[in-house]
Amino acid sequence: MDAVGVFEFHSFQRHAAGRVAYIHISGKEENAVKRTFQKGAALTLAALWFPVAFFALAETPKEALDRLKEEQERIEEQIEQAGQRQEDAATLKTLYQQKANSILAQLDALNGQISQQRDEVEKANEALAQAQRRVEDGREAFEKRLVAMYETRYQSSLAVLLGVGDISQMMRFAENLTRISVANKARVDGYAQAKQEIETQAAAQQAVLDEMQQASAQLEQTRQEYAAAIQQADTALSQAQADQQSYEAAYEDKVHEVEQATKEYLAWIAQDDNPGGQPPLDGSWLWPLPGYQPGSGYGWRTLNGKPDFHRGVDIPAPAMTPIRAAVGGVVSVQRHSSYGNCVKVSVGGGMVVIYAHMTCWASDLSNGMTVEAGHILGYVGTTGNSFGNHLHFEVDINGQPVQPLNYVSPA
- 310: β partners: 299
Model confidence over 52-72: pLDDT tens digits? 333 434 566 767 777 888 888
The reply to whether 388 falls in a domain is: yes
- Residue 39 burial (CB count, 10 A): 22
- Residue at 278: amino acid letter: Q
Specify the CATH number for the domain of residue 235: 1.10.287.1490
The reply to whether 376 falls in a domain is: yes
Instruction: Count up the domains in the chain and report the number.
Output: 2
Binning pLDDT at 50, 70 and 90, where does residue 150 land?
A: low
pLDDT(19) > 50: no
The reply to whether 37 and 106 lie within a common domain is no
User: Of the ranges 18-22, 38-42, 124-128, 319-323, which is most confident?
Assistant: 319-323
pLDDT(41) > 60: no
pLDDT: is 376 or 41 the higher one?
A: 376
What whole-number distance in Å separates Cα of residue 186 and Cα of residue 327? 133
Model confidence over 248-281: pLDDT tens digits? 898 888 888 878 877 776 777 778 899 888 888 7
Specify the CATH number for the domain of residue 345: 2.70.70.10
Question: If you average pLDDT over every residue of the chain, what do you get?
Answer: 77
The reply to whether 108 and 214 lie within a common domain is yes
The reply to whether 63 falls in a domain is: no
Range 355-363 average pLDDT: 95
Among 216, 249, 282, give the residue marking a domain's end: 249
Contact between 323 and 359 (Cβ < 8 Å): no
The reply to whether 293 and 240 lie within a common domain is no
Binning pLDDT at 50, 70 and 90, where does residue 35 land?
A: very low
Binning pLDDT at 50, 70 and 90, where does residue 25 land?
A: very low
Q: What is the extent of the structural domain holding 191? A: 87-249
Indicate the range of 188-192, 339-343, 381-385 predicted with least confidence: 188-192
Dihedral Cα 178, 182, 185, 189, nearest 10 deg: 170
264-273 exposure pattern, b = at least 16 Cβ within 10 A, e = fewer: ebbebbeebb
The reply to whether 258 falls in a domain is: no
Q: Give residue 260's pLDDT.
A: 82
What whole-number distance in Å separates Cα of residue 118 and Cα of residue 121? 5
The reply to whether 234 and 315 lie within a common domain is no
What whole-number distance in Å separates Cα of residue 365 and Cα of residue 344? 11
The reply to whether 224 and 308 lie within a common domain is no
The reply to whether 92 and 159 lie within a common domain is yes
Among 199, 217, 249, give the residue marking a domain's end: 249
User: Of the ranges 168-182, 210-224, 331-345, 386-400, which is most confident?
Assistant: 386-400
pLDDT(44) > 50: no
Q: Give residue 28's pLDDT.
A: 43
The reply to whether 39 and 102 lie within a common domain is no
How many angstroms from the chain centroid is the CA of residue 5? 26
The reply to whether 268 falls in a domain is: no
What whole-number distance in Å separates Cα of residue 68 and Cα of residue 61? 11
* 91 contact partners, CB below 8 Å, separation of at least 6: none
Range 287-294 average pLDDT: 97
The reply to whether 105 falls in a domain is: yes
Range 344-355 average pLDDT: 94
- 340: β partners: 336
Q: Give residue 149's pLDDT.
A: 61
What whole-number distance in Å separates Cα of residue 29 and Cα of residue 23? 10
Binning pLDDT at 50, 70 and 90, where does residue 305 land?
A: confident
The reply to whether 192 and 106 lie within a common domain is yes
What percent of the chain clears pLDDT 70, i.e. is strictly above it? 73
The reply to whether 100 and 245 lie within a common domain is yes
- 301: β partners: 308
- Written in H, E and C, the secondary structure of 315-369 is EECCCCCEEECCCCEEEEEEEECCCEEEEEEEEECCEEEEEEEEEEEECCCCCCC
The reply to whether 368 falls in a domain is: yes
The reply to whether 165 falls in a domain is: yes
What whole-number distance in Å separates Cα of residue 327 and Cα of residue 286? 7
The reply to whether 30 and 159 lie within a common domain is no
pLDDT(159) > 70: no
Dihedral Cα 4, 313, 304, 254, nearest 10 deg: 20
The pTM for the full model equals 0.46
Largest CA distance in the chain: 172
The reply to whether 161 and 213 lie within a common domain is yes
The reply to whether 103 and 244 lie within a common domain is yes
Task: State whether residue 46 is helix, strand or coil.
Answer: helix
